[in-house]
Structure 1
Amino acid sequence: MKKLQLSFKTAAGKRRDLVLNYVKDDLDPVLVKSAMEKITASKIFEKDTVQLFSEVVSAKYVQRTEKEIFKNSLQ
């Protein structure tokens, strides 16, 4: 499954990611950046009085591939 990982910088200077499932392919970079800027402007995400998403850093698609090597049967 493809996910969209939105990366932000917190008010304390640390990196925080917001990962979204079920996203469209080929999102417009300008639209994604604009949406991320709205998230930062809303100031609704906070932990221990630190703004979690205070600066837009990046956005990328992330896809995980799994290949089973073996599986024990459950009894």
Structure 2
Amino acid sequence: MKKLQLSFKTAAGKRRDLVLNYVKDDLDPLVVKNAMDKITASKIFEKDTVQLFAEVASAKYVQRTETEIFKTKLS
């Protein structure tokens, strides 16, 4: 399953990610950027008075691949 990882800079200059499940895998970059801009403009995410999603940084799809090596009866 692909996830969409939206990366932002906080008001303190640190990186914060917002990861979304169940997203379309053909999203237009401009649509994603505009959505991220709306998130930053809303200023609704805050921790200890620091704006968590203050500036848009990047967006990417993330897909995890698992390859089983072995499995015991306890698993």
- 1:48 and 1:14 map into 2 onto residues whose CA distance is 14
Letter in 2 for 1:3: K
Letter in 2 for 1:48: D
Deviations 1:13-36 (A, max 9, x none): 000000000000110000000000
- 1:52 and 1:72 map into 2 onto residues whose CA distance is 43
* TM-score between both structures, scaled by the size of structure 2: 0.97
- 2:24 and 2:17 map into 1 onto residues whose CA distance is 18
Runs of 4+ with deviation above 2 angstroms: none
Deviations 1:29-74 (A, max 9, x none): 0000000000000000001110000000000000000000011112
Counterpart residue number, 2:12: 12
Secondary structure of 2:7's counterpart equals strand
- Answering whether residue 67 of structure 2 is matched by residue 67 of structure 1, we say yes
- 1:66 and 1:74 map into 2 onto residues whose CA distance is 19
Percent identical among aligned pairs is 87
Letter in 2 for 1:24: K
Correspondence 1:43-58 to 2 at 5 A:
43-58=43-58
- Answering whether residue 23 of structure 2 is matched by residue 40 of structure 1, we say no
Secondary structure of 1:57's counterpart equals strand
- 1:74 and 1:26 map into 2 onto residues whose CA distance is 40
Number of residue pairs aligned between Structure 1 and Structure 2: 75
